[in-house]
Amino acid sequence: MLRFRGPHLRWPTRAPTRRLLSTPPPVTVVEKIIMDGIKATGPISFSTYMQMCLSHPTAGYYMNPKNPIFGSKGDFVTSPEITSLFGELLGVWLMSQWMQGPQLPIRIVELGPGRGTLMQDVIRVLARFGKDKLRSVHLIETSPTLKALQEARLEPEARKSNCTLGWHDSVDDIAPSAEEYTMVVAHEFFDALPFHTIQKTEQGWQELLIALAESSEETYPRFRYVLSPQASAASTLLGFSSSRFKDMPVGSRIEVSPIAFKTMHAIGELIHGPPREGSSTVSLGCGLVVDYGADRAFDQSFRAFKNHEIADIFHEPGECDLTVNVDFAYLREAVGDFGVTHGPISQAAFLEGMGLSMRVEAAAQRSEDGGVAIREAAKRLVDPSGMGEEYKVLGIGGHVPGAVWPFVPETGDREIA
């Protein structure tokens, strides 16, 4: 069975179990680099570990062409890979926001486009309803392997839509524009960004670090957790980066991603547009963030995936996917005065609110199998015990004051999970 990376597969909130193996797995390229670094300079942050495992220039999980990553041969499956209806409904929401504004030429930005499946579906919607308004597609991607897959899939769509297609290493590389309407999509992007784990002690906020295992070479995994001996300037800054963290009791542990905050701030600036006189609160764009997590911080959601199964986070570094739950409240705070945020709401609530059921029935009438496959795919997207509830959708921007459909106020616990 193909599995997604949701928190129902969450790794237990404890240090990794030590096992004495007669034949431990071979040391991976990334693992050797990390071990040598720790021997030379001491324990490293979770952020450094995750960045090395996923983004090492040649041996990182997303950089190594030997890793299939997506689909049945990869380590996880995503919503756009299940059915094109997912991307189409995201595209419909983006177009609905554009139609309420000045209807400027459109540029769309996607962070972490994967194989380009989601963007392909969104482009088709924009081309159909926006006619000749779509001018450019911007993809935030650092992996040469994924760039090649995206180009193969999206270049034909770009030609048909008469729009340009380009790649950037960071959202910061794209300047805000007053002449275009900017749409931003980030699907399963923030969960793969490096993060720090900090713990509140009597001395303040101290960082949880990764060190080499104390016992023999036969012990596996080869790493362990250690608490920094004292609070640092960095851990203290992270502990005060949100007012929500201020009154947490001693013993609290949270995962904090400053790069996620910085990226979301840049997205808010991009959607808002450049400084201008008059109605500066009106956005010149809109956006959607889809990921798993909640409107709160998490204490230890960090986990690894290999062959659609959860694995120890220290298992075969560089050859497993790593992911962490998204603190949507932190993302909302990052947007700040640049725009209005909506939600987050569950993926099921968003898709059903956007008319998924009607789209499924319409597609079923045209299908050869009577709609069996399309109904099964849609069911997976809104399953309350899986993707439907565990994935959340956050909206950004818009021209209409108040709630934006299908985002409606939701109440719930916002404490540490």
CATH number, domain of 412, equals 3.40.50.12710
In a domain, 107, yes or no: yes
Q: Could you read off the pLDDT of 348-387 as tens digits, one per residue?
A: 999 999 999 999 998 888 877 878 888 999 999 999 999 9
What beta strand segments (E) does 90-247 contain?
A: 106-111, 134-140, 164-168, 181-187, 196-201, 204-212, 219-220, 223-227
Q: Return all residues near 358 (Cβ < 8 A) that are at least 6 apart.
A: none
In a domain, 412, yes or no: yes
In a domain, 240, yes or no: yes
In a domain, 125, yes or no: yes
In a domain, 149, yes or no: yes
Contact 115, 70 (CB under 8 A): yes
Helix axes 84-99, 117-129, angle to 10 degrees: 40
CA distances in angstroms from 14 to 17, 204, 253, 262, 313, listed in the order given: 8, 21, 12, 29, 11
Q: What is the pLDDT of residue 2?
A: 38
In a domain, 308, yes or no: yes
Count: domains in the chain: 1
DSSP 314-341: TSSTTSSEEE--EEHHHHHHHHGGG--E
Q: Note down the domain range covering 232.
A: 1-11+29-417
In a domain, 18, yes or no: no
Q: Is the peptide bond before 221 cis (omega within 30 degrees of 0)?
A: yes
Q: What is the pLDDT of residue 22?
A: 59
Q: What is the pLDDT of residue 271?
A: 95
Q: What is the pLDDT of residue 306?
A: 87
Contact 289, 393 (CB under 8 A): yes
Contact 314, 223 (CB under 8 A): yes
In a domain, 21, yes or no: no
Q: Which tokens in the block code for residue 115?
A: 């194989």
Residues of the chain with pLDDT under 70: 1-22, 68-77, 216-218, 277-281, 399-402, 409-417
Q: Return all residues near 114 (Cβ < 8 A) that are at least 6 apart.
A: 70, 78, 80, 146, 150, 187, 188
Q: Could you read off the pLDDT of 200-238 as tens digits, one per residue?
A: 999 999 999 999 998 756 678 999 999 999 999 999 999
